Amino acid sequence: MTDTKHIQSAYELAKERYAELGVDTEQALARLDNVSISLHCWQGDDVGGFENPGGDLTGGIAATGNYPGKARTADELRSDLDVVYSLLPGSHRLNLHAIYLESDSKVERNAIEPKHFSGWKDWAKEKGHGIDFNPTCFSHPKSVDGFTLAHRDEDIRQFWVEHCIASRKIGEYFGKELGTPAVTNIWIPDGYKDTPADRQTPRRLLLDSLDTILAEKIDPRYNLDAVEPKLFGLGSESYVVGSMEFYTAYAVSRKILLTLDSGHFHPTETIADKISSMLLYLDELLLHVSRGVRWDSDHVVTFNDDTQAIANEIVRSNALERVHIGLDYFDASINRIAAWTIGARNTLRALLVALLEPQAMMRQYEVDGDYSSRLALQEELKSMPFSAVWDYSCSKKNVPVGMDFMSVIKDYEKKELSKRV
């Protein structure tokens, strides 16, 4: 158990150090309190969902590992999420996929309704969470050939259009019921493994499908629409219909959100540099924070340079109110609750470090052309006592400090997860 007296003392010293740079730590913590991370439900069960438990995972998505304790029901998944939320400072959201519906009988994806998600709504309302939503355009017989909204078969294409229309209505339902707009994000796996002869036709079909899906206007107080590009995927290495160029043009022209996923670009490319550019043309952005290792491997988010760069750009662009931050990874090789918690805490920690930057000082060095001092300051900030401020934030919110959260997770694993066989 961490000594709160020492936490307070360390914080007071850190507060003085940051004050010397013109940074108000209390103000930084207050701003962090207003940040809500959208936790991805699929970390808890390896993207299985409850529509077809044990079915094949397709769309170029792969969950590796077989750590005991995977959630098998919605109640188990919600129980696991309750543990994760208790280990995070602040109030946070849930990101839900359509395959996590609850029904006593089979429901086709183009027939899903709000009633199939009432259990999630009731839980979120009780716990104080907002919910974001996603149509699930993979792991289905009508997506086995790798195409959905850009399929050349009109019947199959229409099926997925109807699924996405239904998903927007469910997003609207969550927004109305929970008092905070749902971000309904569309990602599709459509693409070719090898070089296509015709790149334009699938994109024209996707354009028409999206326009049909978005034809009904929904009040942005309840639902916000987003589209998610990708450079390549398993089975779509040579060509992805929904490329960055396609979706950027679509989002700007239709005035909807663009989703930037950390793992959906070239391994040497970071989404951090894209944020300031996109915010000049779009009102809001959705981020999927992940960690790709040589490809879109969806590793647990760590407190690394890429994560920090994303947080820095959001804060430096003064865009905390314009950027929706969600997590998107799934690791079944370690305790799933630990994976959730570690990634979420690291994302919040990176945002705190960004909020503790002496931006006015850095920018003045830049304006003055004093790039030597700018670099020196940026490097010195890396050894500033931000960890003391983070520990204080956790302690103040009655959230475990340091490694103490692992004791909670191991206890829950012993009492609950170990029984799931």
Residues annotated as part of the active site: 187, 228, 230, 261, 264, 288, 296, 298, 328
**Six token digits for residue 26:** 């209390």
Would you call 375 exposed, middle or buried from its count of C-beta atoms within 10 A (0-12, 13-18, 19+)? exposed
Integer Cα distance of 48 and 206 in angstroms: 26
Integer Cα distance of 88 and 156 in angstroms: 42
Integer Cα distance of 230 and 239 in angstroms: 10
Burial per residue of 235-264, b for 16 or more beta-carbon CB atoms within 10 angstroms, e otherwise? ebbebbbbbbebbbebbeeeebbbbbbbbb
Contact 230, 242 (CB under 8 A): yes
Integer Cα distance of 371 and 30 in angstroms: 31
Q: Which of 341, 263, 276, 260 is nearest to 88 (CA)?
A: 341
| Strand pairing category for 239-240 and 191-192 | antiparallel
Contact 314, 320 (CB under 8 A): yes
Contact 88, 348 (CB under 8 A): yes
DSSP E strand boundaries for 101-248: 131-134, 182-186, 191-192, 223-227, 239-240
